[in-house]
C-alpha cells in the first residue's frame, strides 16, 4: 500500500471529528485524500440507528454491529483507497472499539482479535480531554444516549451518564495509548494549534 493511513481518536466532544475534517481538506490540497467516519457504512448505519432508537443493543450486540460497519468500510473504502495511493484520514479507527467495548465490559483481547485483520495506521492522534471539559462543548446540542452509556447506566441522567461512561472510555484510551504509539494531544489547546501540530507530524512522515 502506498497511501498514508491517519487515525484520529478521542472521546465524544474532544474535537476529533473537526480535526479529522480539517486534516482531510489540508491533505487534499496537495495530494489525494479520503475521509472515513465511524459508523458510516451505508447499510449497517441504518440498522444501527434503528436499534439504538429502540434501545435494543446489548454491549455484545453493539460491539458486533460496529465491527460489521468497520469491516464493510474497510474492505470497500479504506483498503481500496490506500492501495490506490490515497491518504486516508479515519475519524475513529479500531481503537475506538477497543476503548468503548472495554468500557462496556467486553474483553479487550477478544475485541483485538475481532479487528485483527485491520492494518495498523501510519500515525495515530489521540486528542485527550477530560469529560468534564468535553461536555461543555456539547451544551449546544443534546447528548446522545449512547454517548452517555444509556445501555450500561440506564438510571443516570444524560450528563451524569456521559461523565461516568466517557471517563471509563478515556481510561481505556490511556491504557492502550503507549502500546499503540498514540501521539497524545492536549484537547484543551486551540483548534488552530492542534491542527498545526498534527500537520507538522504528518509532514515529517511525508
Cell representation of residue 102: 472495554
Q: Which value, in Å, is the radius of gyration of the alpha carbons in the chain?
A: 16
Categorize the per-residue pLDDT at 59 as very low, low, confident or very high, splitting at 50, 70 and 90: confident
Long-range contacts from 137-140, C-beta under 8 angstroms, 24+ separation: 137/13, 137/15, 138/12, 138/13, 138/162
Q: Is 179 exposed, middle or buried (CB count within 10 Å of its CB: 0-12, 13-18, 19+)?
A: exposed
The label of the residue with cell 490511556 reads 174
> How far is residue 198's CA from residue 200's CA, in Å, rounded to a whole number?
5
5-205: CATH topology is Rossmann fold (3.40.50)
The label of the residue with cell 498514540 reads 182
Q: Where are the beta strands (DSSP E) in 23-177?
A: 33-37, 87-91, 123-128
pLDDT in tens, 107-140: 999 999 999 999 999 999 999 999 999 998 886 5
Residue 173 has pLDDT above 80, yes or no: yes
> How far is residue 201's CA from residue 184's CA, in Å, rounded to a whole number?
12
Average pLDDT taken over every residue of the chain:
90
DSSP-derived letter for residue 87 is E
pLDDT in tens, 82-112: 999 999 999 999 999 999 999 999 999 999 9
Residue 194 has pLDDT above 90, yes or no: yes
Residue 34 has pLDDT above 60, yes or no: yes
User: Which residue ranges make up each domain of the chain?
Assistant: 5-205
Low-confidence winner among 30-34, 56-60, 102-106 (lowest mean pLDDT): 56-60
Cell representation of residue 25: 481538506
Amino acid at each position: 500500500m502506498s497511501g498514508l493511513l491517519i487515525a484520529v481518536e478521542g472521546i465524544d466532544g474532544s474535537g476529533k471529528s473537526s480535526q479529522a475534517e480539517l486534516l482531510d481538506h489540508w491533505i487534499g490540497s496537495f495530494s489525494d485524500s479520503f475521509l472515513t467516519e465511524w459508523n458510516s457504512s451505508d447499510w449497517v448505519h441504518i440498522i444501527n440507528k434503528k436499534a439504538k432508537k429502540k434501545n435494543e443493543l446489548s454491549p455484545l450486540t453493539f460491539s458486533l454491529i460496529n465491527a460489521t460497519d468497520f469491516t464493510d468500510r474497510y474492505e470497500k473504502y479504506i483498503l481500496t483507497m490506500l492501495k490506490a495511493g490515497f491518504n486516508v484520514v479515519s475519524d475513529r479507527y479500531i481503537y475506538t472499539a477497543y476503548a468503548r467495548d472495554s468500557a462496556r465490559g467486553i474483553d479487550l483481547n477478544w475485541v483485538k482479535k475481532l479487528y485483527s485483520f485491520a492494518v495498523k495506521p501510519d500515525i495515530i492522534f489521540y486528542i485527550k480531554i477530560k469529560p468534564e471539559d468535553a461536555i461543555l462543548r456539547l451544551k449546544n446540542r443534546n447528548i446522545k444516549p449512547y454517548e452517555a452509556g444509556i445501555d450500561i447506566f440506564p438510571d443516570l441522567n444524560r450528563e451524569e451518564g456521559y461523565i461516568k461512561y466517557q471517563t471509563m472510555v478515556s481510561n481505556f484510551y490511556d491504557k492502550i495509548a503507549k502500546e499503540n504509539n498514540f501521539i497524545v494531544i492536549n484537547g484543551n489547546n486551540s483548534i488552530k494549534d492542534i491542527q498545526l501540530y498534527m500537520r507538522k507530524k504528518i509532514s515529517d512522515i511525508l
